[in-house]
Amino acid sequence: MLKKDAVKPLYRQMMDLLLAQIQDGTYKEGDQIPTEPELAASYHVSRITVRRTIEELCAQGYLNKKQGKGTFVCLPKIQRKLEVQKNMSFSDTCLANGRIPSSHVISFGMTAPDAVCSDFLRLAAEESVFLTERILSADHIPITYDTIYLNPKDYPDFDPKKLEDGSLYKYLRQDYGLTMADDCRSLISVTSASSQMADALHIPIGEPLMVLESFLRDTDSRPILFVREFIVGSRYQLSI
């Protein structure tokens, strides 16, 4: 409960408690929180304190008031500025936005690359690639369906288990000594969520997804990997 004799103001204490409940899943994105009178009674504070708390959380993007309907959880979008953060990992992007990153590997295996991937990785005809699929989350909310394409000749002992709650860039840097160039090329397009992606990202089938294709090279301009990210647009923002 709130401590009325504490140095921290009551509305700040209440903000911390509500944020903790949002982050631990007590209140999920889209959930309606209790009304102002209900919150005031629950926390034993005035309506003014409750109103200040809600206004602050709305300003920060965690809550959204809908006229005549109530107040709902809407997590602030993760913001990534491509022009200065082209190679910033998802983990670093989350931390820069005050969010807790996590990742879960869905699958790993060999696959036939499409023309874009094959051309960038300089593969011969009929050559296959390693494909790792994983879900990247912020505060346990799925944000990105990540597909990573690697040339098996460059990574013969690649271990996808190291990407479970781990950074891809950090793994390649520490285990393979790779240093990525700062001027990678990226392409942005739009698609709709397939049933597989919708299920993995906890969104409706057909919801719009941003597609971010990244062509990553080392400091000697050699191709390192090709990444195609399918990003939930309502949860992520790219600035160019």
Tell me: pLDDT of 131 over 90.
yes
Q: Is the pLDDT of residue 47 over 60?
A: yes
Sorting pLDDT into bands at 50, 70 and 90, what band is 94? confident
Residue 239's pLDDT band (cuts 50, 70, 90): low
Q: How far, in Å, CA of 49 to CA of 45, rounded? A: 6
Q: What is the pLDDT of residue 76?
A: 65
Residue 57 has pLDDT above 90, yes or no: no
First vs last Cα of the chain: how many Å apart?
44
Tens-place pLDDT, residues 160-197: 999 998 888 889 889 998 888 877 788 888 888 888 88
Q: Rounded to the nearest 5°, which phi and psi values hold at 174? A: -80, -40
Put simply, whether the predicted model's pTM sits higher than 0.85 gets the answer no
Q: What are 120's two structure tokens?
A: 């960038």
- Confidence at residue 85, expressed as pLDDT on a 0 to 100 scale: 45
Q: Tens of pLDDT along 205-227?
A: 888 898 888 899 888 889 999 99
pLDDT for the residue numbered 79: 55
Average pLDDT over residues 51-72: 85
Mean pLDDT of 53-72: 85
**Token pair 């699958």 is at which residue?**
107
Residue with tokens 């098996």: 152
pLDDT tens-place string over residues 191-203: 888 888 899 998 8
Which range is least confidently modeled, 41-45, 114-118, 179-183? 179-183
Judge contact between 148 and 227, C-beta under 8 A.
Answer: yes
- CB contact burial 145-160 (16+ within 10 A = b; e otherwise): bbbbbbbeebbeebeb
pLDDT the model gives residue 80:
56
pLDDT of residue 83: 46
Mean pLDDT of the chain: 85
Strands of the sheet with 141-150, listed across from one edge: 101-111, 129-138, 141-150, 223-232, 208-217, 185-192
